[in-house]
Chain A
Amino acid sequence: MWISYKTIVIKEILRFSRIWVQTIFPPIITTSLYLLIFGGLMGKRIGDMQGVDYLHYIIPGVILMTVITNSYTNTVTSFFLAKFNHSIEELLVAPVSYWVILLGYVSGGVSRGFAVGLGVSIAMSIFIDFEINNILIVLIIFLFTSILFSLAGFINAIFAQSFDDISIVPTFVLMPMTYLGGIFYNVEILPQFWQNISKFNPIYYMVDSFRLGFLGVSTSEFWVSILVLLSIIIVLAIFAFYLLKKM
């Protein structure tokens, strides 16, 4: 079982590493631009947020945004392509349990999220001085976020019947959720109604706790975030397993 799992993970890592110009490099460029324009140029006019200057305030959210997008994209693309070119049958004819398949693909998504997140952090550290307040919180939230969105990508891939289907969810669901999750702003500046709506967006808890890890400021309790994220991960994992078994 361990060898099967290791094989899937290595295969997934090799897949995105071989095409690093398409997978790892673009998010680094995009994120650097975000920081330069929103943080560096416009941020000076915006001022502080929760007592932190705007450039530093958006760093955690921007890093997390790349982790979310890349974890999701990795599993949805890889698993859909395996379905599309039937190479998924290589796994299905072998004595590999559905949990191992799921865990392997999710680990692949987490690996890409980590690779891109690390790349973006290194690129930013060249231009901006920043310190991490609590590395443990940062790592826990990174892990939970990438697992959650890898699972979501996996479910999307199982349902997807065409290449359009794998781009609809990221464009119409994932992107609005990410932007409305408080990446560029403190949710408390919104009217009460929209603040309440934001509490139903899991990305709000991720960004808020990630910011706690980086900057030491947050608007919600850390344990609430952990509870919310863990619950969603468990539900998604069970659903993904069920769909995979039924496939």
Chain B
Amino acid sequence: MLKCFDFYSKLIMSTALLIKGLKKTYANQLEALKGIDLCVDHGDFYALLGSNGAGKTTVIGIICGLLNKTSGSIKVLGFNQSNHVNQVKKLIGLMPQEFNFNPFEPVEEILINQAGYYGIAKSKAKIQAELLLKEVDLWEKRFDMAKSLSGGMKRRLMLARALIHQPKILILDEPTAGVDVKIRHSIWRFLSKLNRQGMTIILTTHYLGEAELLCRNVAILNKGKVIKQTSMKALLSQVDKQVLILESLTQLPQTITSDRFKCERLDDHSLQVVLNTDISITSVLHNLDTQGVSVDYIHSAQNRLETLFLYLTNKEK
């Protein structure tokens, strides 16, 4: 009996988020969620993917208490959301898709006010705000009105705000939308650091490369249903083809053929190769070498996860 209790308590503690049969029908009768089940482990970096209108933001809105569910249950670190609304809210930090701060408030004040809503005293909030603003490189802008920040800075401000109450679970809805490459990479580094420190992170993004790079597990939503929920590794292993662009500094021969892979000459110096995953790149390069093609650069023509995502979501249509 005790062992059984121990097993279940460990299971609850190891699960950061457990969603069962979650349904949401809006007032206009739009059925946004048709009974979804999700399980996110404690300390996981989890991708929640889906096309526009798949129901990602609705799921997030319900988890964070911004929307009411029609039916189903949500447990956050063992707390049932229906009975422990405030405990659940304290455990979650949300960085939403849209900018949702008062643009006429100074940066530091936005963070301190948010901490205040969570019941954190101003003296303590100031210390935490300084730490976070330095981390997201906004300390110099702390007295500036939020409206004067650039798009990337606004995103980082929302990230800092989501972390001000030191949540256990961080939910990011399109965190790098409209952000330049440099800032995107700095955000990725910061998120990876948080995850290594033990924070559970749930990410929704349209940049599938981002999900592939950061996340260990993934769920794909389509038209209000979970159509895939597995590890990123297992999902990517389903990709049976890859497309490569090969570039040569010397001019390519007019005709290049192979019976083991598809080959298309794009211009005098570049070549597109489509090959099954059971064919090694070394054998492709060897084959091309015999035809007088010397390859100087190789890069992937498409994101693997993107290929799979399109396949899975189109299959459901």
User: What residue of chain A has the Cβ atom nearest to residue B92's Cβ?
Assistant: A93
- Report the interface size for chain A: residues with CB under 8 A from the other chain: 23
Q: Is B55 an interface residue (CB 8 A)?
A: no
User: In the assembly, what is the distance between CA of A14 and CA of B86, in Å?
Assistant: 27
User: In the assembly, what is the distance between CA of A91 and CA of B118, in Å?
Assistant: 9
Task: Name the distance in Å between B297's Cβ and chain A's nearest Cβ.
Answer: 45
In the complex, the answer to whether B96 meets A89 with C-beta atoms within 8 Å is yes
- From A6, A15, A93, residue with most partner B Cβ within 10 Å: A93
In the complex, the answer to whether A95 meets B100 with C-beta atoms within 8 Å is no
Task: Name the distance in Å between B118's Cβ and chain A's nearest Cβ.
Answer: 5
- From A4, A81, A85, residue with most partner B Cβ within 10 Å: A85
In the complex, the answer to whether B102 meets A6 with C-beta atoms within 8 Å is no
Given known A-B contacts A1-B119, A3-B121, A7-B117, A90 and B89 have beta carbons under 8 A apart:
no
Inside 8 A of B89's CB, which chain A residues have their CB?
93-95
User: In the assembly, what is the distance between CA of A93 and CA of B115, in Å?
Assistant: 12
Inside 8 A of B66's CB, which chain A residues have their CB?
89, 92-93
Q: Is A118 an interface residue (CB 8 A)?
A: no
Inside 8 A of A82's CB, which chain B residues have their CB?
102
Inside 8 A of A14's CB, which chain B residues have their CB?
109
In the complex, the answer to whether A6 meets B92 with C-beta atoms within 8 Å is no
- Interface flags for A76-107 (1: CB within 8 Å of B; 0: not) read 00000110011101111111100000000000
Q: Is A11 an interface residue (CB 8 A)?
A: yes
User: In the assembly, what is the distance between CA of A15 and CA of B113, in Å?
Assistant: 13
Inside 8 A of A93's CB, which chain B residues have their CB?
64-66, 89, 92, 94
Task: Name the distance in Å between B93's Cβ and chain A's nearest Cβ.
Answer: 9
Task: Name the distance in Å between A10's Cβ and chain B's nearest Cβ.
Answer: 8
In the complex, the answer to whether A92 meets B113 with C-beta atoms within 8 Å is no
For the residues of A in contact with B, the DSSP-based class is helix
Task: Name the distance in Å between A220's Cβ and chain B's nearest Cβ.
Answer: 42
User: In the assembly, what is the distance between CA of A4 and CA of B121, in Å?
Assistant: 9
- Interface flags for A125-165 (1: CB within 8 Å of B; 0: not) read 00000000000000000000000000000000000000000
In the complex, the answer to whether A11 meets B113 with C-beta atoms within 8 Å is yes
Assign chain B's interface to a size class: 20 to 34
User: In the assembly, what is the distance between CA of A92 and CA of B100, in Å?
Assistant: 12
User: In the assembly, what is the distance between CA of A6 and CA of B121, in Å?
Assistant: 10
In the complex, the answer to whether A95 meets B118 with C-beta atoms within 8 Å is yes
In the complex, the answer to whether B96 meets A95 with C-beta atoms within 8 Å is no
User: In the assembly, what is the distance between CA of A14 and CA of B161, in Å?
Assistant: 20
In the complex, the answer to whether B119 meets A86 with C-beta atoms within 8 Å is no
Q: Is B85 an interface residue (CB 8 A)?
A: yes
User: What residue of chain B has the Cβ atom nearest to residue A101's Cβ?
Assistant: B117
Inside 8 A of A6's CB, which chain B residues have their CB?
116
In the complex, the answer to whether B116 meets A90 with C-beta atoms within 8 Å is no
User: In the assembly, what is the distance between CA of A89 and CA of B182, in Å?
Assistant: 29
Task: Name the distance in Å between B111's Cβ and chain A's nearest Cβ.
Answer: 10
Q: Is B188 an interface residue (CB 8 A)?
A: no
Task: Name the distance in Å between A169's Cβ and chain B's nearest Cβ.
Answer: 23
- Interface flags for A1-39 (1: CB within 8 Å of B; 0: not) read 101101110010011001000000000000000000000
In the complex, the answer to whether B101 meets A92 with C-beta atoms within 8 Å is no
Given known A-B contacts A7-B113, A89-B66, A90-B114, A95 and B119 have beta carbons under 8 A apart:
yes
User: What residue of chain A has the Cβ atom nearest to residue B87's Cβ?
Assistant: A95
Task: Name the distance in Å between B172's Cβ and chain A's nearest Cβ.
Answer: 14
In the complex, the answer to whether A3 meets B100 with C-beta atoms within 8 Å is no
Given known A-B contacts A92-B66, A93-B64, A93-B65, A87 and B117 have beta carbons under 8 A apart:
no
In the complex, the answer to whether B117 meets A96 with C-beta atoms within 8 Å is yes
In the complex, the answer to whether A95 meets B85 with C-beta atoms within 8 Å is yes
User: In the assembly, what is the distance between CA of A93 and CA of B87, in Å?
Assistant: 11
Known contacts A4-B118, A87-B100, A87-B101; can you find 9 more A-B pairs with CB under 8 A? A3-B119, A8-B117, A82-B102, A86-B96, A86-B98, A92-B66, A94-B89, A95-B87, A96-B117
The 21 sampled A-B contact pairs (Cβ below 8 Å) are A3-B116, A4-B116, A6-B116, A7-B113, A11-B109, A11-B113, A18-B104, A81-B102, A82-B102, A85-B103, A87-B100, A87-B101, A87-B102, A89-B66, A93-B64, A93-B89, A94-B89, A94-B165, A95-B89, A95-B117, A96-B117
